[in-house]
Amino acid sequence: MAKKLVIKVTAGADAPERCSQAFTVAAVAVASGVEVSMWLTGESAWFALPGRAAEFELPHAAPLPDLIDSVLAGGTLTLCTQCAARRDITEKDVIEGVRIAGAQVFVQEAMAGETQALVY
């Protein structure tokens, strides 16, 4: 079994079920003791900003702010550098604990031994 899970979520409010699935899988993996690195790309980039996750609604899904808190408590949450730049998001804008990093870091994490990568 993989010892680390790298999850890239490309969907936000534009595809709520896919978005929620990514955050749910990440939070469950953290709760299960798996090392998790979650990447916010595309429309999910907005969830790196304070208060944005609270605006997300999906019936029968865990609240997105709770899932994000779970990921931050036991894993890493990264905002894609290019996605941040396209949305004029800087390090001073994001939730505490969110880092901004680029494709080189994503590839490095995804290719590390005993790592499973998922894209939503």
pLDDT for position 33: 95
Whether pLDDT at 1 is above 80: no
Model confidence pLDDT, tens digit, residues 48-82:
999 999 999 999 999 999 999 999 999 999 999 99
State the DSSP code for 12. Answer: S
Model confidence pLDDT, tens digit, residues 3-35:
999 999 999 999 999 999 999 999 999 999 999
49 is written with which tokens? Answer: 């900003």
Tokens 């894993």 map to which residue? 75
Query: 101-111: string of b/e by CB count within 10 Å (b at 16+)?
Result: beeebbeebbe
> What is the reported pTM?
0.95
| 102 residue type, one letter | G
Q: Do residues 75 and 30 lie in contact, with contact meaning Cβ atoms separated by under 8 Å?
A: yes
